[in-house]
Amino acid sequence: MSLDWSKKEFEAYVLLYAAQCNLIETEEEREYILSKVDEETFNRIHNLIVFEKDEDSIARIKEYLFLNKYSAEEKRTLINDIKEVFFADGTVDKMEKKIFAVLQKILK
Protein backbone atom coordinates (compact mmCIF):
# COMPACT_ATOMS: atom_id res chain seq x y z
CA MET A 1 0.00 0.00 0.00
CA SER A 2 1.64 3.21 -1.19
CA LEU A 3 1.12 6.30 0.91
CA ASP A 4 3.16 8.58 -1.30
CA TRP A 5 0.35 11.15 -1.38
CA SER A 6 0.29 14.91 -1.32
CA LYS A 7 -1.68 16.52 1.50
CA LYS A 8 -4.50 17.22 -1.00
CA GLU A 9 -4.65 13.54 -1.95
CA PHE A 10 -4.74 12.57 1.71
CA GLU A 11 -7.48 15.12 2.37
CA ALA A 12 -9.47 13.67 -0.54
CA TYR A 13 -8.97 10.19 0.89
CA VAL A 14 -10.20 11.14 4.36
CA LEU A 15 -13.19 13.11 3.07
CA LEU A 16 -14.17 10.35 0.66
CA TYR A 17 -13.83 7.81 3.45
CA ALA A 18 -16.18 9.95 5.54
CA ALA A 19 -18.66 10.20 2.66
CA GLN A 20 -18.51 6.44 2.01
CA CYS A 21 -18.66 5.24 5.63
CA ASN A 22 -22.42 4.66 5.59
CA LEU A 23 -22.30 3.24 2.04
CA ILE A 24 -24.27 6.24 0.74
CA GLU A 25 -22.37 9.03 -0.97
CA THR A 26 -24.81 11.87 -1.56
CA GLU A 27 -24.53 14.51 -4.27
CA GLU A 28 -24.13 17.15 -1.54
CA GLU A 29 -21.19 15.26 -0.02
CA ARG A 30 -19.63 14.87 -3.45
CA GLU A 31 -20.03 18.58 -4.21
CA TYR A 32 -18.47 19.57 -0.90
CA ILE A 33 -15.45 17.32 -1.46
CA LEU A 34 -15.06 18.66 -5.00
CA SER A 35 -14.98 22.18 -3.53
CA LYS A 36 -11.85 21.07 -1.61
CA VAL A 37 -9.99 18.96 -4.20
CA ASP A 38 -9.79 18.86 -7.98
CA GLU A 39 -11.89 16.39 -9.96
CA GLU A 40 -8.93 14.30 -11.17
CA THR A 41 -7.73 13.73 -7.59
CA PHE A 42 -11.30 13.06 -6.47
CA ASN A 43 -11.82 10.40 -9.15
CA ARG A 44 -8.46 8.68 -8.59
CA ILE A 45 -8.92 8.48 -4.82
CA HIS A 46 -12.60 7.56 -5.17
CA ASN A 47 -11.67 4.54 -7.30
CA LEU A 48 -9.30 3.43 -4.56
CA ILE A 49 -11.53 3.90 -1.52
CA VAL A 50 -14.76 2.33 -2.73
CA PHE A 51 -13.17 -1.12 -2.65
CA GLU A 52 -11.43 -0.86 0.73
CA LYS A 53 -12.58 -2.23 4.06
CA ASP A 54 -13.06 0.16 6.98
CA GLU A 55 -10.12 -1.25 8.90
CA ASP A 56 -7.84 -0.82 5.88
CA SER A 57 -8.91 2.79 5.45
CA ILE A 58 -8.35 3.57 9.13
CA ALA A 59 -4.93 1.90 8.97
CA ARG A 60 -4.00 4.00 5.91
CA ILE A 61 -5.07 7.20 7.65
CA LYS A 62 -3.10 6.37 10.79
CA GLU A 63 -0.02 5.39 8.79
CA TYR A 64 -0.12 8.54 6.66
CA LEU A 65 -0.38 10.74 9.75
CA PHE A 66 2.48 8.84 11.37
CA LEU A 67 4.72 9.36 8.33
CA ASN A 68 3.80 12.99 7.64
CA LYS A 69 3.80 16.14 9.71
CA TYR A 70 0.40 17.68 10.30
CA SER A 71 0.14 20.78 12.44
CA ALA A 72 -2.57 21.13 15.06
CA GLU A 73 -4.22 23.73 12.81
CA GLU A 74 -4.18 21.38 9.78
CA LYS A 75 -5.75 18.65 11.91
CA ARG A 76 -8.47 21.04 13.16
CA THR A 77 -9.20 22.11 9.60
CA LEU A 78 -9.48 18.49 8.48
CA ILE A 79 -11.83 17.68 11.38
CA ASN A 80 -14.02 20.64 10.38
CA ASP A 81 -14.00 19.47 6.76
CA ILE A 82 -15.07 16.00 7.88
CA LYS A 83 -17.97 17.57 9.81
CA GLU A 84 -18.97 19.46 6.67
CA VAL A 85 -19.05 16.22 4.68
CA PHE A 86 -21.28 14.58 7.28
CA PHE A 87 -23.64 17.58 7.45
CA ALA A 88 -23.63 18.22 3.67
CA ASP A 89 -26.86 16.29 3.11
CA GLY A 90 -28.56 17.73 6.20
CA THR A 91 -28.49 14.55 8.29
CA VAL A 92 -25.93 12.62 10.29
CA ASP A 93 -26.66 8.93 10.88
CA LYS A 94 -25.29 6.58 13.55
CA MET A 95 -22.51 5.24 11.35
CA GLU A 96 -21.33 8.75 10.48
CA LYS A 97 -21.30 9.69 14.19
CA LYS A 98 -19.27 6.58 14.98
CA ILE A 99 -16.74 7.20 12.20
CA PHE A 100 -16.48 10.89 13.15
CA ALA A 101 -15.54 9.89 16.71
CA VAL A 102 -12.87 7.50 15.37
CA LEU A 103 -11.43 10.07 12.95
CA GLN A 104 -11.50 12.79 15.59
CA LYS A 105 -9.53 10.56 17.96
CA ILE A 106 -6.97 9.73 15.25
CA LEU A 107 -6.52 13.40 14.35
CA LYS A 108 -6.04 14.69 17.91
Q: What is the pLDDT of residues 19-51, one digit of tens each?
A: 999 888 999 999 999 999 999 999 999 999 988
Range(s) of the domain holding residue 79: 7-107
Contact 85, 29 (CB under 8 A): yes
Indicate whether 1 belongs to any domain.
no
Contact 78, 65 (CB under 8 A): no
Q: What is the pLDDT of residues 59-103, one digit of tens each?
A: 999 999 999 989 999 999 999 999 999 999 888 999 999 999 999
Indicate whether 2 belongs to any domain.
no
pTM to 2 decimals? Answer: 0.93
Count of domains for the chain = 1
Indicate whether 84 belongs to any domain.
yes
Indicate whether 21 belongs to any domain.
yes
Q: How many angstroms separate the CA atoms of 3 and 56, rounded?
A: 12
Here the CATH number for the domain that contains residue 16 is 1.10.3680
The pLDDT assigned to 2 comes to 62
